[in-house]
Structure 1
Amino acid sequence: MEGTIRCSANYVSLSPISFLLRSGVVYSNRISIVYGDVKFTWAETRRRCLQLASAFTHLGISRGDVVAVLAPNIPAIYELHFAVPMAGAVLSTLNIRHDSAMISVLLKHSEAKVILVDYQFLDVANGALHILSKENIKLPHLILIPDGDKRPSNSPIMEYEPFLAMGRPNFEVVWPNDEWDPIALNYTSGTTSSPKGVVYSHRGAYLNSLSAVLLNEMPSMPVYLWTVPMFHCNGWCLTWAVAAQGGTNICLRNVTAEGIFTSIDRHQVSHMGGAPTVLNMIIHAPPSIRRPLPRKVAVMTGGAPPPPQVLFMMDELGFNVTHSYGLTETYGPGTVCAWKPEWSSLSRDEQAKIKARQGLHHIGMEEVDVKDPASMKSVLPDAKTMGEVMFRGNVVMNGYLKNAKATEEAFKGGWFRTGDLAVKHPDGYIELKDRAKDIIISGGENISTIEVESVLFSHPSILDAAVVGRPDDYWGETPCAFVKLKDGNNATMDEIIKYCRDRLPHYMAPKTVIFDDLPKTSTGKTQKFVLRQRAKAMGTPAFRNGRDCGSSAADRIHVAMTLDANYLRGTMAAVLSILQHSTCPEDVMFHFLCVRHEPVVFSSIKSTFPYLNFKLYKFDVHRVRGLISKSIRQALDQPLNYARIYLPDLIPIDVKRVIYLDSDIVIVDDIVKLWQVDLGDKVLAAPEYCQANFTTYFTDTFWDDSELAKTFHGRKPCYFNTGVMIVDVDKWRCGNYTQKVEDWMVIQKQKRIYHLGSLPPFLLTLAGDITPVDHRWNQHGLGGDNIEGKCRSLHPGPISLLHWSGKGKPWLRLDSRKPCTVDHLWAPYDLYRSSRHSFDE
């Protein structure tokens, strides 16, 4: 209008930096950060952030540069949310669950100039820098964040506090030229596994922070407990929101139920947040950990809708839960299920159903709608018609870094397309039904996994559950439920399926139930894409014989393995590898030896391999317990490790021959070739390794005893590994070999003649008197030695069987993000994989 002008007097670029500058004065003496014994006031936090910003400029950081941080919820990562943008730079908070390979990818993509690393993750960061050093790019400066006196010894790396002290407290803030300038870079993917760098603006961060204050109903000077990772959507923008209100940040390095209850009691916490997993952690905390809450605690939760039972129990404990919904692309929560007073008179069940809705957009978001993605028309508000959730507003990302195509696709039609499916209720509130890729289409019917999961969560024995589609030749796919039971509870697959069929249309009930821990992101969200990979790996539930396979008992191939919960992951991989490479998989009969009846283990095998031919045999541990001597590794002393000695006594009398396999193997050839090995007149066949120093398997006590040392006279003993053996069961029984092995175990108890578990008595009994098998059938030692489990390479020559004998197991090394090269040969058979190389959302 005439007479108006825009100038510095009436127009300033919005930025959450201003929240800290104001709170440093208004709330100067109020506590801003608490971390154990460490405390800062808002005046100190203001000064420290200005100094830190100044130090960054001394390091050469300028407008638009990226500064990365790899740290849990500690004071430093909070300070960096202000200090980095104060220097004009862009903050990239990296997920602490990523391994070195992934961190290197993100550092390269973001072109980060500096990375600040918590001492706990220094090895990961160094590994990433080592990977980058092989490429022709400039490495980022590394700054170490110690924790008190916890730091690597003799480290030459610049540390956080000395670096901060280099800066000036009167530093002049580098304000954004435009409020749409970037303030943060967040990498996401969580359930889609495709890396994308989401760019946030100063304007969006400012508006979403104030919206977070409103939707969390935060008064001035709240006390916020950090159970949401600050590296996730910048802590849902609450890093900046708490500063706006002059609140107190209670930092937790590790989120535990005890830490939550202790912090609430000690610091009078008023607000916190977290995924449903955090709520589960709270409600299932043992009585010894729980404490009465000093006041009602407001909890904002996101992700999957909390089951009604969880909401009831949280309320009883003194927590008021509000459900929000959003994505990294919407700065975290984009909607909130705002409560209406008239709903308070409804039954608890009805209230819980409403609380599980995603509601409407918050005050900072312009609009949310459920649309037909093709026509872009809004769906009917009938609570039935599904469409795609779409957002538009000032708190939607700027776009994906260096990925214009993905940005254009996400904003096609003038709305941000989430890929989530929902319905709209008559009151306008939306209710999420699924991710577009999570919907199961079975026989032409759409099945909402959220609805099935809601029923599963209502089962009294179930702690956690997720549902995905499993391929099916007839239906296309069927629901497959992954379930974790509460401690001390039992439930079978059949019981759970019946429970669901009694409460759902039958086509929606799971056809398969897998009992296991569910893979989670850092914020507690179930990684469904990992479960989909696992369900896909199961394939359509059958492994069928080829045309030339026989069908009589004489065609059976008998395979024996031990079975227990600790090694179930290895056993399942071994079974899958055998079936996949077998010409006649239906001819393979598995004999599993276990020490106790474990319904969860049995159900896992039955549901994963519905057509598997197998029997379970209980091994009486009392037969061997008094004979076991302590060895160099505790795992070797488990009674089940000795069950192979008694195998001929356990399996049916009509079984004449059996292949015994350890649980840490995979077979990459047809097992019939191993089955057809000619034993001649020998009781046992196995690959022999005559080049090994045989004497090292026995102590000096053995070799110094003239009578014992005569054991191998007349034989040419060679080392063989008892993890891969073909046994003539009749000859074993007739030759009373179980007693012969036991006799050596008795001598061991008296004289300590070896150190290595169940192997030496086999060698004493049979070494030099077995049929040798081609070495290709036991590429052993891939688990490393029995002390350190260091990585080993493959032996030269062809391979039919890979064996991770030794201390290191491939599933543990893969999960710890420190795999050996050979472990990647095991990974394709892993039905329990937890995608460590994925981006957590």
Structure 2
Amino acid sequence: MFTSTRFTPTAASIPPQGVRLSRKALRGVPVNYTPLNPLSFILRGALIYPNKVALVHPNVPSPVAYTFSVWAQRTQNLAYALIKAGIQPGDRVAVIAPNNPLIADALQGVLAARAVCCPINTRLKPHEVQYILEHSGAKLILVDHEYKHLVGNVKTRVIVSNDTGREGDPYEDFLTEGRLFSQEKGWPGLETEPDENAAAMLCYTSGTTGRPKGVITTLRGSYLAAIANAFEGQYVPSNTPSSRILPMFHAAGWTYPWSCTFAFATQITLRTVDYTQIWDHLLHSGVTHYCGAPTVQIGIVNDPSARKLDKPIVAVIAGAAPTPHLISELEKTGIKPVHVYGLTETYGPFTRCYDQENWASLSLDERARLMARQGHAFATAEEVRVVNYKEGSDIPQDVPADGKTLGEIVTRGNIVMKEYLNDPEATKKSFRGGNFNSGDLAVMHPDGSISVMDRSKDIIISGGENASSLAIEQELASHPHVLEVSVIARPHVKWGERPMAFVILHPQHTKIWKGRHHEFAVDLKAHAKSRLPGFACPEWVEVVPELPKTSTGKILKTELRKIVAKL
């Protein structure tokens, strides 16, 4: 396991003797009430396990490792530095960084300053980042040195991190300024946010169908979502190293950065999704948990370093539905998949597919098919429903629990966003019928679990029949030579639309089909016909070297549609 003896933090990062790990007490609130705030988790960690490594950043030229007590001090320093820089409660602070201590600090320290953290996707274009900076009204920008070009010539103050953790790094100097400004008042010198429904995060949607929307989530929701993720992800307090593969800029890392501090876990931050590094940590760093989208999981199980693990590791999967084939491959490797589902508007996951006792007697393929469902609502979430609306009505009607009738997933309650920033019309539309309307189409099974069938815009209507692109993808992915596949609608003279499949071949089988992609298409279609109704079988198959994806591994079907539009 990691130790902090190889690295000496800056002098400003070392807490004083007798440090108090509690914020300024609120006056005038009932004895039986404390406003919920995920910041409390890191303070609790520093109190109970002060010398345990909380954050380690190993695969860089200047590795660092911070204990809970040191990280809590750095969080405090950042809060004071932001206040010294003029940040007021409710102001937005943008952070542009890969998984590293800068963004890990920001998810804690910005809240400590009672400001709103706005993490921005590092894979966006400069003009897209400019739009978010302007729309968010960010008053200060924290940026990793590799992404300075995304900021441009803004008038807003920019603090650059060289990702060294050493004296002389501009970001470290900023933290030192905060420590000096604090005059050693410590945590009791920082005002406590009295409103647990105050904004905590401003996370922007992917914007694949237009301008990205700014999703405002709250302190209360973040606290409850983090606890739920720790529970549903089966984190064991005090002995849980977690590898940070999922970008923390995506929906605040699904709130897992706070889930980890809640569980006293050691977080391993990796700047990039490097499968060799990932496998090195899975095999040698005592990792017990990690999160990642299905495309990342595919890369993990198919990497040359992949092997059967000596002890099981939990992989939380979300961002898209994993295929039964992928779930099966993970299990064979010794990786236990925990399949969850959610959106940026629900703090990341809010449902989980729960294992059932009777699954033990099923074959691996049968069990994997059941595990591919999106399941039931989280412990701290309200019931997940599948509904339809009658024309002209805003009253949702639940679909029959028959596993067949298609409807839209809706939910409400503790872990639903507060609103879209400066967009009351979009907020009103999203909250139609007194629920959050996801836009995802699903069925409800007799046991109350749900299965996502598609995004509403991705349903393929062929000859009057509705074909789920997701269902087609799951069946095509069961072909032993398919590594990844994405299916979209393509216009058809007779049937209106027919499915078109874009396929990445498994590296082990690319040579077999070299120069024979047409024959592979025939083979895949035959495979599909044995598993799908005729209207759902792909009319066209295109073998491609890669698929366009978002930073979190979601396949950009909008880009595939552009390709089809030119055919």
TM-score for both structures, normalised by structure 2:
0.88
Distance in 2 between the 1:233 and 1:361 partners?
Answer: 19
Secondary structure in 2 aligned to 1:45? helix
CA offset digits 1:190-226 (Å, max 9, x no partner) = 5433310000100000000000111001111211100
Match of residue 263 from structure 1 = 281
Match of residue 432 from structure 1 = 452
Distance in 1 between the 2:259 and 2:165 partners?
Answer: 31
The match for 2:436 among 405, 413, 416 is 416
Secondary structure in 1 aligned to 2:278? helix
Secondary structure in 2 aligned to 1:468? strand
Distance in 1 between the 2:163 and 2:307 partners?
Answer: 28
Q: Does 1:223 align with 2:241?
A: yes
Give 1:12's aligned amino acid: T
Q: Structure 2 vs 1, CA of residues 469 and 283 (structure 1 numbering), >3 Å: closer, same or farther?
A: same
The match for 2:537 among 509, 517, 531 is 509
The match for 2:467 among 447, 454, 473 is 447
Match of residue 35 from structure 1 = 57
Q: Structure 2 vs 1, CA of residues 296 and 167 (structure 1 numbering), >3 Å: closer, same or farther?
A: same
* Runs of 4+ with deviation above 4 angstroms: none
Contact 2:115 2:200 in 1 (8 A): yes
Matches within 5 A, 1:722-801: none
Distance in 2 between the 1:300 and 1:448 partners?
Answer: 24
The match for 2:560 among 519, 525, 531 is 531
TM-superposed deviation, 1:364: 1.1
Contact 2:102 2:163 in 1 (8 A): no
Q: Which moved more, 1:457-466 or 1:186-195?
A: 186-195
The percent of aligned pairs where both chains have the same amino acid is 39
Give 1:19's aligned amino acid: F
Distance in 1 between the 2:432 and 2:342 partners?
Answer: 19
Q: Does 1:312 align with 2:334?
A: no
Match of residue 252 from structure 1 = 270
The structure with higher relative contact order (CA 8 Å, sep 6+) is 2
Distance in 1 between the 2:47 and 2:310 partners?
Answer: 29
Distance in 1 between the 2:403 and 2:444 partners?
Answer: 5
Q: Does 1:96 align with 2:122?
A: yes
Match of residue 371 from structure 1 = 387
Secondary structure in 1 aligned to 2:231? helix
Give 1:413's aligned amino acid: G
Contact 1:276 1:524 in 2 (8 A): yes
Match of residue 551 from structure 2 = 522
The match for 1:163 among 174, 180, 205 is 174
Q: Does 1:66 align with 2:77?
A: no
TM-superposed deviation, 1:292: 5.1
Q: Does 1:386 align with 2:406?
A: yes
Match of residue 464 from structure 1 = 484
Contact 2:207 2:213 in 1 (8 A): no
Match of residue 347 from structure 2 = 331
User: Which sections of structure 1, spanning at least 5 residues, go unmatched?
Assistant: 1-5, 133-138, 152-156, 539-841
Distance in 1 between the 2:341 and 2:404 partners?
Answer: 19
Give 1:512's aligned amino acid: W
CA offset digits 1:553-603 (Å, max 9, x no partner) = xxxxxxxxxxxxxxxxxxxxxxxxxxxxxxxxxxxxxxxxxxxxxxxxxxx
Distance in 1 between the 2:165 and 2:114 partners?
Answer: 32
Match of residue 3 from structure 2 = none
TM-superposed deviation, 1:105: 0.3
Matches within 5 A, 1:606-685: none
Give 1:532's aligned amino acid: R
CA offset digits 1:435-485 (Å, max 9, x no partner) = 001000111110011111111101121111011111223322111111111
Give 2:288's aligned amino acid: S
Distance in 1 between the 2:340 and 2:31 partners?
Answer: 37
Q: Structure 2 vs 1, CA of residues 309 and 219 (structure 1 numbering), >3 Å: closer, same or farther?
A: same
User: Which sections of structure 2, spanning at least 5 residues, go unmatched?
Assistant: 1-27
Q: Does 1:243 align with 2:254?
A: no
TM-superposed deviation, 1:493: 2.2
Q: Does 1:405 align with 2:425?
A: yes
Q: Does 1:351 align with 2:363?
A: no
Give 1:123's aligned amino acid: H
Distance in 2 between the 1:463 and 1:50 partners?
Answer: 46
TM-superposed deviation, 1:417: 0.3
Q: Does 1:480 align with 2:500?
A: yes
Give 1:180's aligned amino acid: N
Q: Does 1:214 align with 2:225?
A: no
Contact 2:308 2:332 in 1 (8 A): no
TM-superposed deviation, 1:122: 1.2
Matches within 5 A, 1:489-508: 489=510, 490=513, 491=517, 492-508=520-536
TM-superposed deviation, 1:24: 1.0
Give 2:265's aligned amino acid: G
CA offset digits 1:508-540 (Å, max 9, x no partner) = 1111112211111111111112212222332xx
Contact 2:307 2:333 in 1 (8 A): no
The match for 1:273 among 291, 305, 328 is 291
The match for 1:179 among 172, 196, 205 is 196
Secondary structure in 1 aligned to 2:429? helix
Contact 2:162 2:169 in 1 (8 A): no
CA offset digits 1:112-134 (Å, max 9, x no partner) = 011111111112222xx3xx5xx
Contact 2:104 2:257 in 1 (8 A): yes
TM-superposed deviation, 1:410: 0.3
Distance in 1 between the 2:555 and 2:30 partners?
Answer: 48
**Total equivalences in the alignment:** 517
Q: Structure 2 vs 1, CA of residues 123 and 150 (structure 1 numbering), >3 Å: closer, same or farther?
A: farther
The match for 2:104 among 78, 92, 101 is 78
**RMSD, matched Cα:** 1.9
CA offset digits 1:659-698 (Å, max 9, x no partner) = xxxxxxxxxxxxxxxxxxxxxxxxxxxxxxxxxxxxxxxx
Give 1:453's aligned amino acid: E
Distance in 2 between the 1:352 and 1:291 partners?
Answer: 20
CA offset digits 1:5-32 (Å, max 9, x no partner) = x834221111001111111111101100
Distance in 2 between the 1:50 and 1:283 partners?
Answer: 40
CA offset digits 1:38-57 (Å, max 9, x no partner) = 11100000111001100000
Distance in 1 between the 2:551 and 2:166 partners?
Answer: 23
Give 1:502's aligned amino acid: S
TM-superposed deviation, 1:338: 1.1
Distance in 2 between the 1:292 and 1:448 partners?
Answer: 34
Match of residue 836 from structure 1 = none
Match of residue 111 from structure 1 = 137
Q: Structure 2 vs 1, CA of residues 450 and 291 (structure 1 numbering), >3 Å: closer, same or farther?
A: closer
Give 1:200's aligned amino acid: T
Q: Structure 2 vs 1, CA of residues 7 and 148 (structure 1 numbering), >3 Å: closer, same or farther?
A: closer
Distance in 2 between the 1:50 and 1:147 partners?
Answer: 19
TM-superposed deviation, 1:158: 8.0
Distance in 2 between the 1:437 and 1:112 partners?
Answer: 33
Give 2:170's aligned amino acid: E
Match of residue 75 from structure 2 = 49
TM-score for both structures, normalised by structure 1:
0.60
Match of residue 298 from structure 1 = 314
Match of residue 141 from structure 1 = 157
Secondary structure in 1 aligned to 2:216? strand
Secondary structure in 1 aligned to 2:408? strand
Secondary structure in 1 aligned to 2:404? coil
Give 2:92's aligned amino acid: V
Match of residue 4 from structure 2 = none
TM-superposed deviation, 1:294: 4.4
Give 1:468's aligned amino acid: I
Secondary structure in 2 aligned to 1:437? helix
TM-superposed deviation, 1:83: 0.3
Contact 2:165 2:172 in 1 (8 A): no
Match of residue 15 from structure 2 = none
Distance in 2 between the 1:310 and 1:448 partners?
Answer: 19
Contact 1:441 1:447 in 2 (8 A): yes
Give 2:178's aligned amino acid: G
